[in-house]
Every structure is written in structure tokens, then in C-alpha cells.
Structure 1
Amino acid sequence: MTGPRRDGDVDGELRARLHEAAGAHRPDRARMLARIEHGKAVGDRRPARRPLPGWVRVAGATAAVAAVLVAGGYTVASAVRDDAGVRRPVATSPGSREPGAREPGPLRSSGVVDPHSNEFWAQSNVTLRVGAPLTALTVELRVAQTGSVTSTGAWRSLPEGDFTFTADERDGFLVYRWTLREGRTVPAGEWVFAGQYNHERGGRDAGGDRYSATATAGSGRLSVAGGFTAGG
């Protein structure tokens, strides 16, 4: 008859069985090596992260700043300027006689039929662009007599008291003439001299109309002349 088992006997038996199981275990070395090789292969296929060149980092920072400025409603302009691409005024010779703008130095001009003209009435505008004060100025507007052309008035954007004015007909033209009074000066700026007139019903051809202006400035005597274009 077997007596009761003591705790020491149980522990000894358990240790014996564990030792026996450990001795019987044989790790699958081939499978472990396969896993290690697989891990190395995957790592080798991953692209290496190379450091970015300095210019790329600078460009990225610039783009980020630009994005912030645009989001804030600012305009980003180039810091590089090409002086060859800057537009500059182009001067024409004083002898030019084509209709439209004139540019002989400090006095420029243009002539246009006012866009508010209609089939019975018209206004011709002479615009002077003065680059320096003038001590003498005479402006003459000649409207060709194309049929029933009669004056209905005139005006200028400079003070009326600074000019003498005449309007009469001669040599087939209605002639308006403004002359700067002695001792008065025309300051630099853009000034308009306008003649108003009735004409026969229908569209009137202003191809025969002319204007001219002579002036005196610190640089000497100046003159401009030209025809009229249709206002738009």
C-alpha cells in the first residue's frame, strides 16, 4: 500500500519531466535561418534616405514661406529684376506729323473727337501734356467746313482769365485760338482745349481737322501739331 505523496516528491517528478522534455526538444534551425535571411532581404530592398542637397532645402523653405504669404493675401514678387525688360518712354522726333500723340521733349499732344458727340453736334479735344512750366503758349484748333459747321462754344481746363480767346472762320475752317496772357504761366500737367460746333446731320468726317500749339519753356521754343482720331 502506497502512502501519501509528499510535496517534495511532486516537485522532483515535475522537474524530471521538464528536463526530459527539454532534452527531447530540437529547434528547427533551418526555419530560423530562413526567417533571418528574409528579414535581411526586405531591409536591402528599402531605398536608402540620402541627405537633401542644400539648394533643395532652401527651395523648400522658400516655397513654404510663399505659401504662407499667398494664404495671407500677399503677392510674392521676384527678387531678381532684369533691367533690359523695364519699359521706358519712347520719344518720337519733333518732325513727326502722324495723327495722334506727339512727343517732342517736354511738350506732348493728342487730338480726339469727343465720344459724347452726336449726329448734329461734336466736340474736338486737344490734350497737351506739359513736362515743364510754360511762359508762352498758343493753341489753335481748325475744324474743316464740311457743311453747316458753326461754333457753339469752347472751353479749356486751365483758368479762363489766363488766356485770350477767338473763334472765327477763314480759309474753309472754323478756327479756335487760345493765347496765354503775358506774365501768366502754364504749370506742368495735362491740359485740355476743346472746341464745340454744330454740323450737318449724320456722321461727320474729321479727317480734315487739324490742331497746332507753340510754346516757350526754360529749354527753349516748342511746337506740336496733329490731327484727330475718333473717341471711344
Structure 2
Amino acid sequence: MSKNIVILSGAGISAESGIKTFRDAGGLWEDHPVEQVATPEGFAADPVLVQRFYNLRRAALKTVTPNAAHIALARLQSEIRARGGDVMIVTQNVDDLHERGGAKYVLHMHGELKRVFCTACDFHADWDGDVSVDTPCLACRTVGTVRPDIVWFGEIPHHMDAIDRALSQCDLFVSIGTSGAVYPAAGFVRVAKHYGAQTLELNLEPSEGNLYFDETRLGKAGNTVPAWVENILAG
């Protein structure tokens, strides 16, 4: 049985809980062009619109719940760690469904809806309510510098050093619900293979990087992930 597992999760796992993805809407995210609401330039051009957009996304989290895939991964992480191994969940998703499903160790490489940071002093904080252009930073009290702690297009993903370290040490890399089109996440499978890990893809359809995986299992994450977890834990 694999003792050190790195799991990459993408939009496909959260879509089954009812969270829309901009790739499903022709480049729109909740009817907005991503350039408008997911770039530093968009924020600079219309901060009121961008804050309102993320306020709505943050509030929408309260209307969705973790699905069977989130819950199964949390169980896998707990049981493998109890046996002396490790399961690192790296997610491209900005929701909190992994944590609400029970996972304790999750790296959000693209940030989190329920966090903000200050562009003036770089103070990061958990945040559950609305943010406006008049919200002062909790640390430096500057007004107009608090923004969603989301990695927008053109920005560097979070936790890359920790992710690279985990990829170099894992013996199994699993990609769940990702398109294989967004870098650097799309390259993780090749990094893991370089260090000798086995690779598995669980997806609705083969990703763009499918040829790099040793095995592919197709189907909804809510079905394929719990079945795979059962197999791992029984092995």
C-alpha cells in the first residue's frame, strides 16, 4: 500500500457539489469574463465589482456541501496518517469543501474564498463575511487595500515549495477532476513520475496530460474516489 500520496484536486470534484467552473461557461465565471474578476488589472479597474463578485461567491459556499469524494479523501488522509504514512491534498479549488468534508491538511494553491489579504502590509486573515473598498486592514488599518486571497491569472500560486517537496517524496500521485490545462498544476504528474511515483487519474474524461498517467479511471468523482479509497485502505 502506498504510504506517501499526493492528491491534486480540481474543479471537477467541487462541481458535483454544485459549484460552477468558468471552463464550463466558455471562459465566463458566473457570467463575468475572467479578465474582469480574476486578474490584478480587473481589480484595479473596478474594485467595487470585484469585491461584490467574491462576496457573492463567499456567501454561495453556505449553500453547498461536501460530496462523497471530499469525505472519502478525508477518511483516506486520516487513516493513512494513522498508519504512519502521509496524504497531502493539493487543491486548485478556492472553496472549503475539503476541510468541511473532514480533511485536516490541504494546500490551496490558488487561494481561498474565505481568506483576504492586505496589499499594503501583506497581512493575511480568515474572512467569512463581505468585503468592500472601505474595509480597513485588520493589521495596518489601511483602507482600500484588502482584497480576496485568491491567486489571479498572472500571479504565482501559493505553497509551491511545499508542493514540490511533497511531489519529490510521494510514491503515488493522484489527479482528480482536473483539465490538465492549467500550469503549474498540469505539470505535477511529470514531476512525480520523474521521482519514481506511480500516477493515477480519476476524471470524467481523460485530461490533456492523460498520457503521463499510469492508469486512468473515468466517472464521477463521487463514485470513483470512494471506490478507489476503499481499495487503497484494504490493500
Please state which band the TM-score falls in when normalised by the shorter chain: under 0.3
Relative to its length, the structure with more helix (as a share) is: 2
Q: In proportion to residue count, which structure has more strand? A: 1
Q: Which has the larger radius of gyration?
A: 1
